[in-house]
């Protein structure tokens, strides 16, 4: 499906960019030009990147570490 009509960027193009190493919205934007014209696609493009891009290791650690109240002794 087309995400950015101004630049002709599809969800598959965003997925390809992420698979090629663009792991943030800014990196995808730089690679594809998505959301650089009118900006109406930014929210959808960001959501797609967030769904596909791997979490940085620091974020993964924060998500994987249980709160102290839930930690087992």
pLDDT tens digit sequence for 24-70 = 999 999 999 999 999 999 999 999 999 998 765 444 444 444 555 55
DSSP 17: H
Q: How far from 72 is each of 7, 34, 47, 58, CA to CA, in Å?
A: 51, 45, 35, 22
pTM: predicted TM-score of the whole model, two decimal places: 0.74
Tell me which fold the domain 2-70 belongs to: Arc Repressor Mutant, subunit A (1.10.10)
User: Taking the domains of the chain in order of start, what are their residue ranges?
Assistant: 2-70
């Amino acid at each position: 499906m087309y995400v950015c009509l101004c630049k002709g960027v599809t969800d598959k193009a965003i997925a390809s960019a992420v698979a090629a190493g663009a792991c943030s919205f800014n990196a995808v934007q730089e690679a594809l030009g998505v959301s650089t014209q009118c900006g109406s696609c930014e929210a959808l493009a960001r959501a797609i990147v967030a769904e596909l891009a791997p979490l940085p290791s620091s974020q993964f650690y924060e998500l994987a570490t249980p709160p102290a109240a839930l930690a087992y002794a």
